[in-house]
Chains A and B, each alone.
Chain A
Amino acid sequence: MRAFIAMAKKEFLESIRTYKLLIVATVFLLFGMLNPITAKIMPKLLSSFMPEGMAITPGEPGTVDSWIQFYKNMSTQLILFVIVFSGIVSNELTKGTLINMLTKGLPRKTVILSKFTAIISIWTLSYLICFVITLIYTRYLLPGELPNLPFAACCMWLFGVLEISMMLLGGALSGSIYGSLLLAVGFAGVLMLANIFPKLEEYNPYLLSTGCVSLLTSERVPSDFYVSIIVTIAFILLIIISSICSFNKKQI
């Protein structure tokens, strides 16, 4: 347990001193402010760019438009997050910094678990920054009440956790940054493809990232997501276990 805490602390220190945390937090903060602002000024922007003679009358922006921006941008932010942290396992393997730790009797599973804990905490923190900022700005710029706001946010957050753990598995399997990225992106691609089949939609973790807005507009209710959430959690556990198993067998 002490080794686990020490390694997790080391991960936080690393993300602070190598400015990764700063970069991610700043970007998430900026997006948090941008979401409501773009929603607010988008109609004006659109009409000012229209050629003369052509007229569209966009409706007044509402609270939900801000959150549409939030979920649209969050996919980009998630990709950025994965890129910034893609070296979390592989960098240590290629540089050989883990050799000193492992030869001191650090259990290999502790490496994976501490990295997972640290990176998910950073993800949660960054996500929370973006969510709270968007919430505050939306209250001010586009006030209104929406149903299922926290629940929808949790769904997207969970999808992020799934993608990040896939990235971790990629690092443990391949030992390279490209392996991490390939697996995370490839997995998202597979989920996207599986979404073609309407029968699978209910089970597909992808629903957690695409269905959030429909919760806010009351097209869907939280119970529509339960199966997908269970599937996602099962996936995450499976991914962590396979990461540990593959890392245990890795020649370093």
Chain B
Amino acid sequence: MSILKIENLSKKFGGHNVINNLSLSVPENTIYGFLGQNGAGKTTTMKMILGLLKPSSGKISVCGEEVTYGETKTNRYIGFLPDVPEFYGYMKPKEYLALCGEITGLDRKAVKAKSEELLSLVGLEKANKRIGGFSRGMKQRLGIAQALLSEPKLLICDEPTSALDPIGRKEILDILLSVKGKTTVVFSTHILSDVERICDHVAVLNNGSLVLNGTLSQLKQNHRLDTLQIEFRSSEDLQRFAGNECVGMLFQNAECTDCTVILRSKNIDEAAGQIYDAIYKTKIYPVKVEILEPTLENLFLEVVK
């Protein structure tokens, strides 16, 4: 079952089309990476899912219930972490979580236990001071705690790691990874390494429409280029190797740089066979022979061109 379903969603700001006929569905218990450049429409889409912005056309449903603009009941399934979460600076974290608990209608005792559990999960159990004095990373963590308080089925995070240092980023990603299984996570980002680290499903948004959508491994499989990279000890080795008749054909459209050569072939296994034959015959041993996997960066650059 898909926990979030978007059908033919469009959004116009003035005459400008921000979201263009967007359709996607997020399967349960996945970590769904929502990628796109700055201004691609990620935040706008998320705000429409939360009923904070009014779609120009299209339909959004969460857990099978349709999202209505303004007052929406579907928000009870959702935990949301805004890109820059803002809190009441005069409150302490526990007071803030207690307020959140009252609003969601949770039992007071349960909120107390849950907030202690969450504060230690996000590493804020000792931060017993007013939120006004928090650093950005601490606010981000408290943001995750408040989003997870009601044990939502769907956790939406808007660029949770963009403003953080490498350690803070890793910690946030670890927290997101740790809630997988209990909660479906949709998170937007433009940091590709974060996606590779934790996401199992990826969608790329460009100019308001989806240009890439699928599981990470599936995408890599589909966009696999038949490319082989060979690195030699020296450029002389490379020249001598290229002169060999077994590989002459392959080297006709090769990219050579100093000691490295990149070869493309329609049948990569056959090409690799020829290379190994040539190595055996010429006794020139390369440092590295590698079939290149497409990186997410290559994919991303390719689709947003």
Partner of A96 from B82, B104, B146 at Cβ < 8 Å: B82
What B residues does A10 contact at CB under 8 A? 88, 99
Of the residues A3, A14, A102, contact of B75 by C-beta under 8 Å: A102
Instruction: Please count the residue pairs between chain A and chain B whose beta carbons lie under 8 angstroms apart in the complex.
Output: 74
Chain B residues with Cβ below 8 Å from A107 are: 71
Binary per-residue interface labels of chain A (1-24) against chain B in the complex, 1 for a CB within 8 Å, 0 otherwise: 011011100100110011000000
Whether A199 sits at the interface, judged by CB under 8 Å, is no
| Interface residue B14 (Cβ < 8 Å from any Cβ of A) | no
A7 contacts across to B, CB distance below 8 A:
103
CA distance A83 to B47 in the complex (A): 32
A13-B91, A105-B103 known; A99 and B71 CB under 8 Å?
A: no
CB <8 Å contact, A2 and B105: yes
- List the A side residues contacting B73 at CB < 8 Å: 105
Nearest residue in A to B74 (C-beta to C-beta)?
A105
B103 touching A99, Cβ below 8 Å: no
- A residues less than 8 Å from B86 (CB atoms): 95-97, 99-100
| Pair A249/B52 contact, Cβ less than 8 Å | no
Q: How large is the interface on A (under 10, 10 to 19, 20 to 34, 35 or more residues)?
A: 20 to 34
| A225-252 Cβ-contact flags toward B at 8 Å (1 or 0) | 0000000000000000000000011011
Q: Is the CB of A14 within 8 A of B80?
A: no
Chain A residue nearest to B46 (CB atoms) is A103
Q: Is B53 an interface residue (CB 8 A)?
A: yes
Give the docked Cα–Cα distance between A209 and B254 (Å): 89
Bound complex: CA A2 to CA B100 (Å): 11
| Residue ID in chain B nearest A7 by CB atoms | B103
Tell me whether A105 and B90 are in contact (CB under 8 A).
no
A6 pairs with B75, CB closer than 8 A: no
Among B47, B70, B104, point to the contact of A104 (Cβ < 8 A): B104
A-contact bits for B93-132, CB 8 A (1 contact / 0 none): 0010001101111000000000000000000000000000
The answer, yes or no, to whether B294 is at the interface (CB within 8 Å) is: no
Bound together, the chains give a CA A103 to CA B47 distance in angstroms of 10
Residue of A nearest to B132 (CB): A17
- How long is the Cα–Cα vector from A17 to B90 in the complex, in angstroms? 6
Chain A 57-100: CB-based contact to B (< 8 A → 1; otherwise 0): 00000000000000000000000000000000000000111011
Are A100 and B102 in contact, CB atoms less than 8 angstroms apart? no
Q: Which of A18, A96, A106, A251 makes the CB contact (< 8 A) with B103?
A: A106
Could you say which residues of chain A place their CB within 8 Å of the CB of B84? 96
**Mostly helix, strand, loop or mixed at chain A's interface?**
helix
Report how far A105 CA is from B82 CA in the complex, Å.
Answer: 15
CB pair A251 B71 closer than 8 Å: no
Complex: A18 Cα to B90 Cα, angstroms: 7
Decide: B99 and A103 in contact? CB cutoff 8 A: no
Render B121-145 as a binary contact track against A, CB cut-off 8 A, 1 for contact. Answer: 0000000000000000000000100
- Most-contacted residue by chain B among A7, A18, A102 (CB, 10 A): A102
Q: A13-B91, A99-B80, A104-B100 are in contact. Are A3 and B105 (CB under 8 A)?
A: yes
> Considering the chains assembled together, what is the distance between the CA atoms of A95 and B291 in angstroms?
51
Rounded to whole angstroms, the CA-CA distance of A13 and B96 in the bound complex is 12
**C-alpha gap A106/B52 in the complex (Å):** 12
Neighbouring B residues of A6 by C-beta, 8 Å: 99, 102-103
Q: Does B233 contact A (CB under 8 A)?
A: no
Q: Does A30 contact B (CB under 8 A)?
A: no
Residues on A with C-beta less than 8 A from B52 are: 99, 102-103, 251-252
B80 touches A103 (CB 8 A): yes
Check: B169 CB closer than 8 A to any chain A CB. no
Residues of chain B with a CB closer than 8 A to A101's CB: 100, 103
Q: Is B78 an interface residue (CB 8 A)?
A: yes
What residue in chain A is nearest B88 (Cβ atoms)?
Answer: A97
Of B50, B75, B91, B102, which one neighbours A2 at CB under 8 angstroms? B102
Q: Is the CB of A105 within 8 A of B70?
A: no
Interface flag for B85 (CB, 8 Å)? yes
Asked whether, in the complex, the Cβ of B53 is within 8 Å of the Cβ of A251, the reply is yes
A99: chain B residues at CB < 8 Å are: 52, 80, 82, 86
CA distance A99 to B84 in the complex (A): 11
Contact of B90 among A14, A96, A252 (CB under 8 A): A14
Q: Which residues on the B side are within 8 Å of A96 (C-beta)?
A: 82, 84, 86
A103 surroundings in chain B (CB, below 8 A):
50, 52, 75, 78-80
**A97 and B75: CB pair below 8 A?**
no
- State in angstroms the CA–CA spacing of A251 and B75 once bound together: 16
Q: Give the shortest distance, in Å, between B9 (CB) and chain A (any CB).
A: 16
- Any A CB within 8 A of the CB of B264: no
Chain B residues in 8 Å Cβ range of A95: 86
In chain B, positions 152-196 with a C-beta closer than 8 Å to chain A are none
A229 to chain B, nearest CB (A): 33
A-B CB contact pairs (8 Å), 21 listed = A2-B102, A3-B102, A6-B102, A7-B103, A13-B91, A13-B95, A17-B90, A96-B82, A96-B86, A99-B52, A99-B82, A99-B86, A100-B87, A100-B143, A102-B50, A103-B52, A103-B75, A104-B103, A104-B104, A105-B75, A248-B71
Nearest 4 interchain pairs by C-beta: A6-B102, A17-B90, A103-B80, A96-B86
